[in-house]
Amino acid sequence: MTAKTILLDGNSLTREQLVAVARQGLSVELDSSQLHRVQRAADFLAEKVSCGEPTYGVTTGFGSNADKLLGAHRLRDELPGAALGRHGADKPEGTLLDELQHNLITTHAVCVGKPFSAEVVRAMLVIRINTLMRGHSGIRVETLRALTAMLNSGVVPVVPEKGSVGASGDLAPLSHLAIVLLGGGEAFYEGERMPGAEALKRAGLTPIRLSFKEGLALNNGTAQMLATAALALDTLEYLLDTADLAAAMTLDAFAGRSGALRPEVHALRPHPGQVDVAAHVRELLAESTLVDIPYHLVPRFKQWSAEAWVEPEDQALSFDIGWDWVPANQRHGREAFYSRFLPFKGGKKHQPQDAYCLRCMPQVHGAVRDAWAQACRVIDIELNAVTDNPLIFPDAEGAQFIEEQVISAGHFHGMPLALAMSYVKAAIPVLASISERRLNKLVDPATNDGLPAFLTGNEDGTDSGFMIVQYTAAALVNDLATRAHPASVYSVPTSANAEDHVSMGANEARHVLEMMDDLSHVVALELYTAAQALDFRQAMLNAARRLAARGDWEALAGKVANAPREDHPHYPQFADEVRQLTAALANVGDFHAGAPVRKAHELIRRHIGFMSRDRAMDGDVRTVCELVGQRAIG
């Protein structure tokens, strides 16, 4: 076994291994020590059939046909006109037992819609092979090896997306998976879509014929919903971290407050996800000189004018900055506050807490993490579970009747997966929504703490800046919210009511996987917007710092909008306090974001430049969405 091969034994498949095979193209190998169990169950079935024991799905029909015992010969051969052949039907080969398994696959492959991606189909194959390795399904070793060879050779069956109700398992999509083994259906090979038989031929493989219960073993299980769920959770894991990063960049851009992230705060309400998010964002903000800076140091944006800056090093600035002074007669009742902070109002509101989208981010992101973790717990169990029916226990002690060794049960029912994914499905719009709220706060001059409206100078009134970026995020959030209704609450009975309660887990998991793109785009748009806001915030603060460092307090006083005249009684106090502001600004170092945030910002800026004036933004948006989609950020 090489480093690019995953060993399957039916007991130890992990989500990481599944993703590696599905998305990175790794091969799989069957654990030889487990194959004797596989063959033992197949031999047991063959023995029982030879003894004439009635067995569901082997010597009986399926579902509502379970009460039909197969005879020794085909009654249809005695029908009038039988000798002329059956119009529109394949000529049966082998015994009725063989035909039963063959027909199960060929008649159940009836899904519709566009094909699943190759990574989903490869994941389905891995899951099916792994569960069959447990040795409770009755499949032969040679059939299992043929399924493995199809995966490893790069044959990807065409599996249309829609058609499973999630009980009895994913019958229809798994039949599309299995029909190619029989030389039917369609498959992709080396990127080309073709008949299944041709794909097998090009890969050097040959079709197989199914034996006892093998059709049922191949198509009765939860592989589609599990494959889509596992891949969705892998993507969501990355997006959870990226959403934390976007939130941290936004918090830095706001020069926000870190108190709501403190560990002693979250120790009082220790939901695991919440605690983890708070710790993660603290790490992302490490070395930040923007969070928790005093109110009076933060100027607000003013539109550029030709007289805004005198020094040559400031001539390239596309903005002006400013403060308001709070006169002594307006400080009554606030003496304690102004003994700590200088009486200047700039960009930061004089309040001890940030908006919910910033302050409650650990609680919201953390709750989504908890939904993800719960789904992962379910998926991890399901990856190594036996999910077909009936279950075969050839070595059951004390068994007297076949019903004690071939047991009909309900492991194919997808409700454990369906409910776990409905939880995740409801959580996805929540994560997208709080991201959009942060984005909106950044562009709204009423809420962005002194940044320019829509993050652009707009001196001539012609620029829209980042206005419509928020529209796109809002549209995506609405789309996600309208898709969040749980499919699992609406069962539609099937098989003439023999299957009178189904999970709809295949729809649930497929929806979640599809929703990952929109969630990714919302988070990408926040990062795009936060990068612009962070540039403005750092540039404005550092411009103020440079102005103060020159020691010319009167130049800084010129940035105060309501400065009193020199002959005003308040002027001496104003001048003294401006000198204090000048000294405070001159004595601080360079203003910058947290180290991980800076790294992400630099990556964005390597691909997308700061937008000083309106320009076509479609390329920027496409690029930032690709960066997040390719997991380049974070």
Q: Where in the sequence numbering do the catalytic residues fall?
A: 56
How many angstroms separate the CA atoms of 470 and 432, rounded? 12
DSSP 340-370: HS-SEE-SS-S-S---HHHHTHHHHHHHHHH
Q: Which residues on neighbouring strands pair with residue 193, listed in sequence order? A: 188
Phi/psi at 72 (nearest 5 deg)? -85, -20
How many angstroms separate the CA atoms of 452 and 134, rounded? 62
Q: Apex CA 421: angle with CA 22 and CA 281, to 5°? A: 85
CA distances from 346 to 277, 290, 298 (A): 30, 15, 6
List Cβ neighbours of 50 (8 Å cut-off, separation of 6 or more).
none
Q: Hey, is 305 helix, strand or coil? A: coil
How many angstroms separate the CA atoms of 423 and 418, rounded? 9
How many angstroms separate the CA atoms of 223 and 277, rounded? 32
Q: Apex CA 206: angle with CA 205 and CA 212, to 5°? A: 125
Q: Which residues on neighbouring strands pair with residue 322, listed in sequence order? A: 300
Q: For residue 231, give both structure tokens.
A: 């891949």
Helices (H), 493-550: 505-549
Residue 629 CB burial class (10 angstroms; 0-12, 13-18, ≥19): middle
Q: Using an 8 Å Cβ cutoff, are 433 and 378 in contact?
A: no
Q: Using an 8 Å Cβ cutoff, are 413 and 488 in contact?
A: no
